[in-house]
């Protein structure tokens, strides 16, 4: 049951296809939180842990595996990211900080769920709590494609046909998760970096704890 999922307060997730600008927005938000003296941790998935580094090797194309293996690696990396006793998301939230995260379960559902098997990916991510805020930067694949093409190094998902499927997957997931109690904001990815940032900031600023 999606409606019974635990929601972690002060946990913020930014999602979008490759090139949507999630990394850009994470950095801008982190700077803004710092300027306002608001305790926070800015982080991302896949993480820098050994599991995350292994995932990067698959994404880079120098290792190959069954898509089910990759789905499980993302879930293992996420479990560690959430529950690591010293540096995990839960620990930071329990200490009173905000956690700003570039990608979370919605990436697994949109990428592995679309490209492999939605039900199995859903099952692998069922135990994870939901964020209080989910920002989806709504960047259709044509716009993302132009931005991705300026990168020298391509990862395995950085192809227009794949990104277009993943984009459609995100739209389905947003619909599926709309009544779960998260604050979901869909933001026009064609806006400038600063315009998008201001929208995110205005939403978070009105929360009583920032």
Ligand X SMILES: Nc1ncnc2c1ncn2[C@@H]1O[C@H](COP(=O)(O)OP(=O)(O)O)[C@@H](O)[C@H]1O
Ligand Y SMILES: Cc1cn([C@H]2C[C@H](O)[C@@H](COP(=O)(O)OP(=O)(O)O)O2)c(=O)[nH]c1=O
Q: Which residues bind ligand Y (CB under 6 A)?
A: 18, 22-23, 45-46, 59, 74, 102-103, 107-108, 111-112, 155, 157
Whole-number Å distance between alpha carbons of 199 and 135: 10
Binding-site member from 72, 90, 147, 154 for ligand X (CB under 6 A): 147
Q: Which is nearer to ligand Y, 71 or 93 (CB)?
A: 71
Pick what 108 binds: ligand Y, ligand X, none; C-beta below 5 to 8 Å, kind-dependent. Answer: ligand Y
Query: Least distance (Å) from ligand X to the CB of residue 18?
Result: 5
Query: What is the size of the binding site for ligand X (CB under 6 A)?
Result: 14
Query: Under the criterion CB under 6 A, does residue 173 sit at the interface with ligand X?
Result: no
The string of DSSP codes covering the chain is: -GGG--EEEEEEEEE-STTSSHHHHHHHHHHHHHHTT--EEEEESS-SSHHHHHHHHHHHTSS---HHHHHHHHHHHHHHHHH-TTT-HHHHHHTT-EEEEE--HHHHHHHHIIIIIHHHHHHHTTTSPEEEEEEEEE--HHHHHHHHTT-SSPPTT-SHHHHHHHHHHHHHHHHHTTTSS-EEEEEETTS-HHHHHHHHHHHHHTSTT-
Q: Which is nearer to ligand X, 24 or 49 (CB)?
A: 24
- The stretch among 88-96, 104-112, 126-134, 185-193 that binds ligand X (CB under 6 A) is 185-193
Query: Least distance (Å) from ligand Y to the CB of residue 103?
Result: 4
Q: Per-residue string for binding with ligand X, 187-206, x by CB under 6 A?
A: ----xxx--x----------
Query: How many other C-beta atoms are found inside a 10 Å radius of the C-beta of residue 147?
Result: 16
Query: How many other C-beta atoms are found inside a 10 Å radius of the C-beta of residue 5?
Result: 16
Q: Which is nearer to ligand Y, 54 or 210 (CB)?
A: 54
| CA atoms in the 13 A half-sphere facing the CB of 161 | 1
Query: Under the criterion CB under 6 A, does residue 130 sit at the interface with ligand X?
Result: no
2-61 residues near ligand X, rule: CB under 6 A? 16, 18-24
Q: Which is nearer to ligand Y, 193 or 209 (CB)?
A: 193
Report the residue closest to ligand Y, judged by CB: 111
Judged by the rule CB under 6 A, the positions of this chain that interact with ligand X are 16, 18-24, 147, 150, 191-193, 196
């Amino acid at each position: 049951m999606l409606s019974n999922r635990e929601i972690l307060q002060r946990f913020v997730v930014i999602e979008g296809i490759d090139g949507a600008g999630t990394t850009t927005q994470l950095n801008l938000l982190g700077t803004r939180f710092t300027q306002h003296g608001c305790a926070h941790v800015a982080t991302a998935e896949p993480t820098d842990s050994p599991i995350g580094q292994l995932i990067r090797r698959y994404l880079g194309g120098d290792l190959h595996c069954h898509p089910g293996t990759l789905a499980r690696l993302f879930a293992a990396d996420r479990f560690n990211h959430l529950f690591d006793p010293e540096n995990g998301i839960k620990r930071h939230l329990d200490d009173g900080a905000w956690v700003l995260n570039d990608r979370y379960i919605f990436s697994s559902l949109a990428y592995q769920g679309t490209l492999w098997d939605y039900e199995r990916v859903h099952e692998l991510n069922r135990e994870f709590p939901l964020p209080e805020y989910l920002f989806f930067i709504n960047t259709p694949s044509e716009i993302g494609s132009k931005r991705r093409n300026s990168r020298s190094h391509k990862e395995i998902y950085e192809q227009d046909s794949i990104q277009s499927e993943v984009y459609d997957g995100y739209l389905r997931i947003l619909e599926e998760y709309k009544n779960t109690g998260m604050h979901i904001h869909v933001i026009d990815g064609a806006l400038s970096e600063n315009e998008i940032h201001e929208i995110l900031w205005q939403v978070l600023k009105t929360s009583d704890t920032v």
